Amino acid sequence: MSSTRAGSNRFLRLLHYARRYLPAAIIAVIMAAGVGLFDAFRVLLVGPIFDNVLHPGGIPHKKISLIPSEFGHFHLHLTLQQLVPSGLHNDWNMVAYALVISTLLKGICSYAGTYLASYAGFGTITDLRDDLYEIILRRSVSFFQKHTTGTLLSALVTDIERVQLAMSTVLSGFLQQFFTLVAMTALVIVLGGELAWILVIFIPLVFISMRRIGRGVRKSTRKGQDKLAEIQNILHETITGNRIVKAFNMESWELVRFRAAARRLLSANMRTVSTQSVSSPLMDLIGAVAIALLLKLGHIAINHHQMKPGQFMALIVALFKLYDPVRRFAVYYNNFQQAVGSSQAIFDFIDDEEHVVEKPDAVALTQFHDSIVLDHVGFHYSDEEGVKEALQDVDLTIRRGEVIALVGPSGAGKSTLVSLIPRFFDVTSGRVLIDGHDLRDVTLASLRHQIATVTQETILFNDTVRNNIAYGQPDVNHERILEAAKAALAHNFIEQMPDGYNTVIGEKGFRLSGGERQRLAIARAILKNAPILILDEATSALDAESESLVQTALANLMQDRTSIVIAHRLSTVRRADRIAVIEAGRITAIGSHEELLLTSPTYQKLYKLQFMNIEPTKVPDLPVSEAAE
What pLDDT was estimated at residue 164? 80
pLDDT of residue 232: 76
At 59 the pLDDT is 45
d(CA 446, CA 448): 6
609 within 8 A of 434, measured Cβ to Cβ: no
Q: Decide if pLDDT at 312 tops 90.
A: no
Tell me how crowded residue 101 is: count the other CB atoms within 10 A of its CB. Answer: 14
Residues 372 and 404: their CA atoms lie apart, in Å, by 11
* pLDDT exceeds 90 at position 515: no
Burial of 377-396, coded b for 16+ CB within 10 Å and e otherwise, reads: bebbeeeeeeeeebbbebeb
Residue 8's pLDDT band, with cuts at 50, 70 and 90, is low
Span of 230-244, 387-401, 558-572 with lowest mean pLDDT: 230-244
- Report the pLDDT value the prediction gives residue 259, as an integer from 0 to 100: 85
- Top mean-pLDDT range of 52-66, 209-223, 327-341, 485-499: 485-499
Residue 73 clears pLDDT 50, i.e. is over it: no
pLDDT at 85 over 60: no
* Sign of the Cα pseudo-torsion (454, 458, 462, 464, in order): positive
- Average the pLDDT over 169-198 and give the result: 74
Among residues 589, 588, 587, 562, the alpha carbon closest in space to that of 577 is found at: 562
Report, as an integer, the average pLDDT of 295-302.
69
Task: Give bridge partners of residue 394 from the DSSP assignment.
Answer: 377
pLDDT at position 64 over 60? no
At 51 the pLDDT is 59
pLDDT of residue 616: 42
User: CA-based diameter of the chain, in Å?
Assistant: 126
Strands of 371-383's sheet in order across: 386-399, 371-383, 429-434, 437-438
Candidates 539, 263, 592; CA nearest to 405 is: 592
Q: Please check the confidence at residue 92 and state whether its pLDDT lies above 50.
A: yes
Say how many C-beta atoms besides its own lie within 10 A of residue 135's C-beta.
Answer: 16
Query: Any idea what the Cα angle at residue 213 is, between residues 209 and 217, rounded to 5°?
Result: 165
For residue 87, pLDDT over 70 is answered with no
Task: Return the pLDDT at 53.
Answer: 53
Is residue 373 scored above 90 in pLDDT?
yes
DSSP secondary structure string, 219-281?
A: HHHHHHHHHHHHHHHHHHHHHHTHHHHHHTT-HHHHHHHHHHHHHHHHHHHHHHHHHHHTHHH
Nearest in space to 601 (alpha carbons), one of 586, 622, 629 = 622
Give the list of residues 6+ apart from residue 601 with CB closer than 8 angstroms, or none: 622, 624, 626, 627
Beta-carbon count within 10 A of 300 CB: 12
Identify which of 127-131, 272-276, 439-443 has the greatest average pLDDT. 439-443
Angle at 270 between CA 269 and CA 273, to 5 degrees: 90
**How far is Cα 9 from Cα 12, in angstroms, rounded to an integer?**
5
pLDDT of residue 228: 75
- Whether pLDDT at 438 is above 90: yes
pLDDT of residue 247: 65
Model pTM score: 0.67
Find the mean pLDDT for residues 223-249. 73
- pLDDT band at residue 71 under the 50/70/90 scheme: very low
Higher pLDDT, 162 or 525: 525
Q: Are strands 403-407 and 578-583 parallel, antiparallel or unpaired?
A: parallel
DSSP type of residue 63: -
Helix 197-240, helix 309-351: angle, nearest 10 = 40
Query: Coil, strand or helix: which one is 496?
Result: coil
pLDDT beyond 90 at 101: no
3-state secondary structure of 489: coil
The predicted pLDDT at position 176 comes to 78
CA distance 264 to 227: 7
pLDDT confidence band for 434 (50 / 70 / 90): very high
pLDDT at 348: 84
Q: CB burial class (10 A; 0-12, 13-18, 19+) of residue 30?
A: middle
Residue bearing the bigger pLDDT, 567 or 87: 567
Determine the Cα angle at 550 with ends 547 and 555, to 5°. 120
Q: Is the pLDDT of residue 44 over 80?
A: no
Tell me how crowded residue 487 is: count the other CB atoms within 10 A of its CB.
20
Beta carbons of 491 and 480 less than 8 angstroms apart: no
Distance, CA of 621 to CA of 64 (rounded, Å): 116
Q: What is the mean predicted confidence (pLDDT) over 552-561?
A: 81
Burial class, 59, CB count within 10 angstroms (exposed 0-12 / middle 13-18 / buried 19+) = exposed
Residue-averaged pLDDT of the chain? 77
Helix (H, G, I), strand (E, B) or coil at 76: coil
Q: What is the mean pLDDT of residues 291-304?
A: 69
Q: Does residue 59 or residue 501 have the better pLDDT?
A: 501
pLDDT at 547: 67
pLDDT for the residue numbered 516: 85
